[in-house]
Structure 1
Amino acid sequence: MAQSARRWRNAAAVMAAAGLLSLGLGTPGASAAEEPRIDLKVLVVDNGDSPVEAITEELRTTGIPYTTVDLNDSGRPTIDEAFLSDTVDGTPRARYQGVVLPNEAPFGTGSAEQTALETYERTFGIPQVDAYTWAHPGVGLDYTDAGGWAGTLDGREAAVTTAGGAGHFGYLDGPLAFEDNSPSVQESYGYVARPRAGFTSYVDIAVPGGTGRGSLVGEYAHDGRRELVVTFAYNHYQQQFRVLARGIVEWLTQGVHLGRSRNYFSVHVDDVFAPDSRWDTERNCTPGDFDCVGGDGEGTTPIRMTAADAVHAAQWQRDSGFTLDMVYNAGAGEEWKSENGNVDALTDQLLADKGEYRWVNHTYTHPFLGCVQDTSTVPWSCAKNADGSTRYVSRADISAEIRDNNLWAASHGLPVDSSELVTGEHSGLKTLPQQPDDNPNLAGALADNGVDWTASDNSREPQQRSVGSTLTVPRHPMNVYYNVGTSEEMTDEYNWIYTSKADGGSGVCENNPTSTCLDDPLDPATGFESYILPQEARTALGHAVGNDPRPHYVHQSNLAEDRLLYPVLDKVLADYRALYADNAPLENPRQSAIGTELKRRAAWQEAVADGDVTAYRVGTTVTVTAPSGTQIPVTAPEGTLKQLLLGTTAFGTPYAGERSAWTTPDALQTALTLRLPA
């Protein structure tokens, strides 16, 4: 009887250890009493190449703490047992839960550092990512001359395998196309190879010019160690990496880590109720603008939505399952109405459908709220007071613009969150080069009206910052211009900006290191659909799949006439939904939620950088301490429980096959404790 019980206990111990190892949680052969402490931090060994930089960026944006060892730094620490592990209160500690290497053996096969690292991984069950390597038996793959292939992957389609779908790449269910943005540039080189024993492919591709499929991403289990082997080159801007990055990081951490990552897409439509000026295709400028010589816009037809456009917008939302943020100027709409017989079918229709949109205050009449502009010269400058100081729009005037727009909304039953604001042209904030500082009256006016979140232009200020007690929410401008109503106008202005002087353009692209001139001007009849639309959709999708919550912004003119915005949004949504599984929906937050997310991220990064966060797991228990009040981002497997003072509760909300949340310890607790599924 005792012998039988002993055999049962031994079998149970083996099964428990196997379960823990499947999560990367245990030491081979260890009993529960001997479980090591594994710190929730990643070791990155960096050789300066883009694949390691890309994974590091994914760790950073997700919020996962990491330590970098720079191989190009002569003063770097030595990778040895003391660097990798120690003992805390008698418990063995692994300092890193995963290791990112530029390739399978960056220190040299058989070297002291490589041996120490491999021993560490074997002892504590720590996974390793080989950021980019070639196909060879040393990583569990055949050479490419044995039924494989090596070459440029641009434009080719890869797919998640059955094993990948059952594991950490299960958030994808469609083919993954490698970017091919220029036929004259090699963008991604890779090795497509057949797996050997011990290798499980997670992402593969049909062998070009051959038969069968070969691996691009897969796991090589050998000698008590596990490596994720990536055999294509990439950088963190490329869409194929951004799509696969989640799976790479979740495999590395086995789905238990600090930080959280989701896919976001929100679109602000500015100037709702107001008309927008129209691009002049003859003079290559916008009448009414300060730099458009030869006319003030009189006699030109502005661009403004119609009631039919409003009906279309509401129906498009229903059909697409996507909500737009209507950023409105009620006073500008009232002015238009008074100039047009006090009849405004557009406003009537938008108000009839007001509950279908989110609404954001854009000030009453859309004035410039920074310095008082002196337009006697081109470009304009800031007007001066008698003592030579800059003359600014007053606090009272700014406050009135915010307040009057809110009052109009209240009187018309418009559901507005008064904590959100978008000033006209993001004015009031510093505007380089003319206005290098914020209007000093802006912060007070924002506080007067309870504004917590004011929009900024991400192309100028990509980081959130304070304006008094208010925080900015950077917005991505979309290349669908405010001053065009038709595809021909859009293409004409695009050609003017992005072609050389020799081709009839402005030549701005020739002197701007961040821009590239078009090889040839786009065809006005087809340029928008064939070139501008897919390029802008690709850019927006890149933001969406990069854990970037910042909203995009366009203008009401883009919902009018040719309705240029819809095909761009349709492509973004269709491409996303074709690629991602239903368990990873595209989140569509409003401005206040986006501002809160960015604020939490900044506070978290500061706490990690200051060394104020301690996080580790012992067996199936995760413990995290952080400064009091700090929201802690955590990702964990389905079935994870949060420990309360009395009992437990389900942790987080589901996303991409796991659960994640910003959370804090329960009342009267000093640490956050999670119970992972056994």
Structure 2
Amino acid sequence: MTTPAVTEPPSIKTLATATLAVLKRKTVLPLLTLSLVLSACSQASIPAPAAVDPDVGSSTHGSGEAHTHDLHPALPGLPLTELPTNARLSPTTLTVPQGTRLSAQALPSNAQTNKVALKVLVLSSGPTDFGIGAARAMLDQAGVPFDVLDATTTPLTPETLIASDGVGKYQGVILTDSALTFQSSPGFYSSALDTTEWATLFQYEKAYQVRQLALYGAPNTVPEDYGLRLVPGAEFATGNLNVTAAGKVAFKDLTGNAVPLRYAYTYGTRTLAVAGVTTQPLLTDDAGNVLAATSTLDGRERLILTSAQNPYLLHTQVLGYGLVQWLTKGVHLGEHRRFLQVDIDDWFLNGDEFDPATGGLRAQSFRLSASDALSARDQQRALDGAYNVVNHFEFAVMFNGGGATPSSLSTCNPQLYGSLIKDALSSVSRCMAYDFDWVNHTRNHLRMDVMDLPTSTTAIAGNFSIGTQLGLQISRKSLVTGEHSGLGYMDPTDDGTNNDGGFSQPKQDLGLGRSNPNLITAAVNSGVHYLASNRSVASEWDASCPTCGVFHPMDPSILLIPLYPNSIHYHVTTPEEATASYNKLYAPGGVVPYWDHAFNYTELLDVDSTQGVGHLFEGTAWPTYMHQTNLRQYAPGKSLAGDWVKAVVEKYARYSTLPLNTLRWDDLGAYVERHTLEEKAKAANAYTAIWNRTTSTVRLNRVGSAVPVTLTGFWGGTFYGAYEAWPLNVSGAVDVYVRTR
């Protein structure tokens, strides 16, 4: 099967032509160069071209009309012919510029080598640096604060690394490649650090016991020796990363299963006995060649990877958590957690159903049956029991009370009561009031981009009222509007006269400033604090903090929680319908032809679950939204939604042991709110965190009102995997005990 491209791919990176400000006498050293191009895809983190499918209409259960949507297929990533599958390190010599000194300057007289700030330094080789995205992603996902130094423009000096009071500024150092290589002139490659700067860095790492992570390298002896040597002819871009016994110790979250590596140029190496160097392989290829290793030299601890890294690649996603924990010794600000959140929209409504024979819609609409709903409950229970990584999974059900019959008898056996059952779905929903997280999806799913206050209030408060009548356990502070409407992603000509029908012009991202103030007012008046937004719309998520929610500019008491779509379309109920709809978009002859053949259901699940797996590894709490049509029990105990979740979890559990948390929407909102405040406080340098390794304490110091802080490594904290963490509210100076792992 052809491998897909990333839905939101990074651009192909090429080496820029740049010149060091001052190149002293040049010393030509052995082979070490930089990747010209990075992969934009991987086996298990490359989403298929996902359809963004906003809802465009609705009806109540009694109207007989189908609740409908509109499919807006996202353009695929890079054309398959342009994927950099053969990217490699350029076979040329590397020059390390001669510095002004023969060695590093002496440490300052007040050096406090037992103390370091809880922050990481990322050393970059310039604006076209291939590894900076991976470094940023893994640190962002863990909540670790960091600085980036572009070594092609900014000198690295002792003052860069050591504060005026002698405290180390950084607890760890990441090299985006092991020699910080860039093309200083056509065909000529140079290290962005000169010999003095390398010596300064190495001295700091030794004195302050700071670990160094090289995200990519073809290890030899430049600028230092890792005890590894290239194996000629052992390069590859498709293979496996096999975890050694030492690798399982370093990457405490991994299962030990081989991790597929796809579309990332990789160098096979072998260990070589080098005086003063101790090398420990962590990952190997199928031939036993070393692909990652820790090593020590002169008291310094280092870890090097010989594969190109990219945040969209599976191996980077799988290894990222363990790399950060190794680098920080398990003590750092922030925490990394993973979530399994799946929303089911449009419960109680009729919906369109795709007809594979015609490529259009069936004349008869679809609405969940009582047996479909009961099966959904049983499917989530089965998933929860089948995988150790799943922690109390349940669907979040976005309900539209306008399609319900609140007076219907509460029972999970409606067939026993005959004519006493007014609506079987309403009856079993009442019976399963505590089996799902029930979330307000508005009364009738009207589009709320241009809607008056009374109608908005009825849509929101009225649905809460119906949910109460049904006896549902509702997340009272949460709301998902139909189409995620009302937030400025809209038809700019919409005048609000057709809120239950299609829109005239394609939707545009007009920004949150064009949100409907009546929606915001009605939501606040109804007790809503957490409002779903569309992760596919630029203004509705925070690119500067990918794990943060967005406080709405019209009323910051409303926090936006971004949601992901997937490619199980809103109007499909069976595998046949799902594949036919997907192929209508992306198979040869489709709307946006992308694949070289039409997919079967197994291929569709395999490809689209890769996107879900990638989202799990990101550490974001964002739900993926699906639809009531996707819960049809097309075979005993089987539904499209259940198949998709199982496929995602099965892939995840193959590689990681970290638990997947599922939170009710109100709890999810509260978690994201605190996390967002915490990340913003870190970004604003609102407090300091200094680790005293002699006393095994971290001093947190905040001048002003309390701010939320989470500390991984907190002694006595709550364990997540092998590492413990604890949330605090800090004002003034607080000393807490930590321990390394």
Shorter-chain-normalised TM-score: which range?
0.7 to 0.9
Q: Which amino acid aligns with 1:617?
A: W
Task: Answer yes or no: is the 8 Å Cα contact 2:131–2:177 preserved in 1.
Answer: no
- The 1-side partners of 2:246 and 2:705 are apart by 42
Query: Which residues in structure 2 correspond to 1:226-375 (within 5 Å)?
Result: 226-281=301-356, 284-286=359-361, 300-321=363-384, 322-334=393-405, 343-371=422-450
Bigger shift: residues 358-367 or 340-349 = 340-349
5 Å matches for 1:199-598? 199-201=278-280, 203-208=282-287, 213-281=288-356, 284-286=359-361, 300-321=363-384, 322-334=393-405, 343-371=422-450, 393-434=451-492, 436=510, 437-460=514-537, 461-463=540-542, 464-466=550-552, 467-468=554-555, 469-499=557-587, 503-506=588-591, 509=592, 517-522=594-599, 527-530=600-603, 532-562=604-634, 563-581=639-657, 584-598=658-672
- Deviation, structure 1 residue 561: 4.6
- The 1:353/1:149 distance shift into structure 2, 3 A limit, reads farther
Which of 678, 697, 700 is the equivalent residue of 1:624?
700
SS in 2 for 1:354: coil
CA contact (8 A) 1:267 1:552 kept: yes
In 1: Cα distance, 2:295 partner to 2:584 partner: 53
Partner of 2:35: none
Partner Cα separation in structure 1 for residue 355 and residue 405 of structure 2: 26
Instruction: Give 1:465 shift.
Output: 3.6
- Pair 1:104-2:162 in alignment: no
The residue number in structure 2 matching 1:676 is 738
Deviates more, 1:258-267 or 1:656-665: 656-665
Q: For residues 72 and 286 of structure 1, what CA distance do their matches in structure 2 show?
A: 58
1:494–1:108: structure 2 CA closer, same or farther, 3 Å change rule?
Answer: closer
Specify the code of the residue in structure 1 equivalent to 2:434.
Answer: G
Structure-1 residue corresponding to 2:720: 655
Question: 1:336, CA displacement in angstroms?
Answer: 13
1:350: Cα distance to partner?
2.5
Residue equivalent to 1:602: 676
Q: Return closer, same or farther for 1:613/1:326 CA change in 2, 3 Å cut-off.
A: same
Instruction: Output the CA distance in 1 between the equivalents of 2:305 and 2:667.
Output: 36
Q: Distance in 2 between matches of 1:369 and 1:58?
A: 37
| Cα distance in 2, alignment partners of residues 203 and 424 from structure 1 | 49
- Judge which range, 111-120 or 343-352, deviates more: 343-352
| In 1, Cα distance between equivalents of 2:145 and 2:322 | 17
- Alpha-carbon shift at residue 104 of structure 1 (Å): 3.2
Q: How many residues align?
A: 559
| Aligned 8 A contact 1:153 1:178 in 2 | no
TM-score (norm 1): 0.77
1:93 aligns with one of 167, 181, 192: 167
Q: Is the 8 A contact 1:199 1:218 kept in 2?
A: no
Structure 1 window deviating more from structure 2 (489-498 vs 263-272): it is 489-498
Q: Output the amino acid matched with 2:398.
A: V
In 1, Cα distance between equivalents of 2:452 and 2:371: 39
Looking at structure 2, the residues matched to 558 and 368 of structure 1 have their Cα atoms a distance apart, in angstroms, of: 22
Once the two structures are superposed, residues 480-517 of structure 1 have per-residue CA deviations (whole angstroms, 9 ceiling, x without a partner) of 11111122222222222224xxx4422xx3xxxxxx72
For 2:132 and 2:376, the matched residues in 1 are separated by: 43
Give distance in 2, aligned partners of 1:426 and 1:109: 49
1:40 paired residue number: 118
Decide which of 720, 723, 729 is 1:664's aligned counterpart: 729
2:226 aligns with: 140
CA separation in 2, counterparts of 1:409 and 1:270?
A: 15
Letter in 1 for 2:576: E
Structure number with greater CO (CA < 8 Å, separation at least 6) is 2
CA distance in 1, matches of 2:718, 2:530: 25
* Distance change >3 Å, CA 110–CA 179, structure 1 → 2: closer
Write the letter of the residue equivalent to 2:618. Answer: G
Q: 1:611 to 1:142 in 2, by over 3 A?
A: closer
Instruction: Give the structure 2 partner of residue 126 of structure 1.
Output: 210
Write the distance in 2 (CA, Å) between the matches of 1:677 and 1:493: 53
Note if contact 1:664-1:672 (Cα within 8 Å) is conserved in structure 2.
Answer: no
For structure 2, the residue ranges without an aligned partner over 5 or more in a row are: 1-110, 181-190, 385-392, 409-417, 495-509, 543-549
* Structure 1 residue 49, shift from structure 2 partner: 2.6
Q: Find the residue that maps to 1:188 and give its secondary structure.
A: strand
Give the aligned partner of residue 195 of structure 1: 271
Rounded Cα–Cα distance in structure 1 between residues aligned with 2:564 and 2:343: 10
Which residue is equivalent to 1:6?
none
The whole-number CA distance in structure 1 between the counterparts of 2:662 and 2:237 is 32
**Contact residue 43 and residue 96 of structure 1 kept, 8 A:** yes
- CA apart distance, 1:285: 4.6
Q: Distance in 1 between matches of 2:460 and 2:192?
A: 64
Q: Which amino acid aligns with 2:137?
A: E
1:161-200 superposed matches below 5 A: 161-167=244-250, 169-180=251-262, 187-197=263-273, 198-200=277-279
1:310/1:349 contact within 8 Å kept: yes
- Alignment CA distance shift 1:196-1:108 (3 Å): farther
Change beyond 3 A, Cα 1:412–1:205 = same
Q: Spell out, residue by residue over 1:368-414, the C-alpha distance to the aligned partner (whole angstroms, 9 max, x if none).
A: 1222xxxxxxxxxxxxxxxxxxxxx1111111121222122222221
One-letter identity of the residue aligned with 1:580: S
Q: 2:113 touches 2:168 (CA, 8 Å); kept in 1?
A: no
Shift of 1:353: 2.1
1:149-173 CA deviation, whole Å, 9 max, x = no partner? 632242x332332223223x11111
1:81 paired to 2:169? no
Q: Is the 8 A contact 2:338 2:616 kept in 1?
A: yes
Q: CA deviation at 1:284?
A: 4.1
Q: Do the aligned partners of residues 504 and 109 (structure 1) sit closer, same or farther apart at CA in structure 2, a change above 3 Å counting?
A: closer
Structure 1 equivalent of residue 50 of structure 2: none
Q: What secondary structure sits across from 1:112 in the alignment?
A: helix
Contact 2:143/2:334, CA 8 A, preserved across alignment = yes
Work out the CA distance in 2 between the residues paired with 1:319 and 1:132. Answer: 41
Q: Answer yes or no: is the 8 Å Cα contact 2:342–2:626 preserved in 1.
A: yes
Tell me the equivalent position of 1:25: none
| Letter of the 1:674 counterpart | V
Match of 2:11 in 1: none
2: CA distance between counterparts of 1:94 and 1:64?
Answer: 16
Q: Which amino acid aligns with 1:329?
A: N
Instruction: Give the whole-Å Cα distance in 1 for the aligned partners of 2:281 and 2:570.
Output: 44
Shift, 1:540, TM fit: 0.3
Deviations 1:48-97 (A, max 9, x none): 43323201222123221211111343xx2x21222221442xxx311111
* Shift in alpha-carbon separation, 1:347–1:409, aligned structure 2, 3 A: same
Aligned to 1:52: 132
Shift of 1:663: 1.7
Q: Deviations over 1:439-469 (max 9, x none)?
A: 1211110111000011111111233241523
- Structure 1: which amino acid aligns with 2:115? R
